[in-house]
Amino acid sequence: MKTELIPAVNPGDHSIGDADAAIEIVEYGDFECPDCGNVNQLIKQIRQEFGSQIRFIFRNFPLTEIHPYAMPVALVAEAAGLQNKYWEMHNLIFQHQGELNDALFEQLANKIGLNVVKFEHDLQTTTLQDKVSTDFESGLRSGVNGTPTFFVNGQKFDGGVFNLLEILRENTN
């Protein structure tokens, strides 16, 4: 079974934190996945607690067979990213996870100040679909079979995000 991140983090990834951080956490997630929504708050806590020691990367792994909005909402986040608002949209999507629908997407775009005409145009491009597909395929190549799945410094972390927090505390103090 694969346990290594393929490919390594690259400029095409959405990341937050110092590129030279000692700890790099990659999450393969689905914006409609309840578990991903639950761990989003914990990821924020990890980032706050460990500050510049952490770099966090989110890759799309939409489980379209069980989550009908998984692909559309991944595209919404990517479209926001084209206007440098990826993380704002990422967080808003998780805050409104139980309300996902087409009308919500435009409301969220307005809320974070996107150019809505550009946003709606970008949603129709194949570029965003290609990005989500590339993320998904990298997850498959890395051995991801569900969400959320985490990689820490390039290695698959099977202990769950709550254990990750404890391990980080033990190893950084």
Residues 129, 45: Cα–Cα separation, whole Å = 30
Give me the pLDDT at residue 130, please.
Answer: 97
Q: What is the CATH number of domain 14-172?
A: 3.40.30.10
Order of strands across the sheet that contains 155-157: 14-17, 54-60, 23-29, 149-152, 155-157
The predicted-structure confidence for 80-135, as pLDDT tens digits, reads as follows 999 999 999 999 999 999 999 999 999 999 999 999 999 999 999 999 999 999 99
Residues 6+ positions from 172 with CB-CB distance below 8 Å: 22, 23, 50, 53
Extents of the domains making up the chain: 14-172
Find, among 78, 66, 65, 68, the residue nearest to 135 by Cα. 78
Q: What is the pTM of this model?
A: 0.93
Per-residue pLDDT at 20 exceeds 70: yes
pLDDT for position 162:
67
Per residue in 47-87, pLDDT tens?
999 999 999 999 999 999 999 999 999 999 999 999 999 99
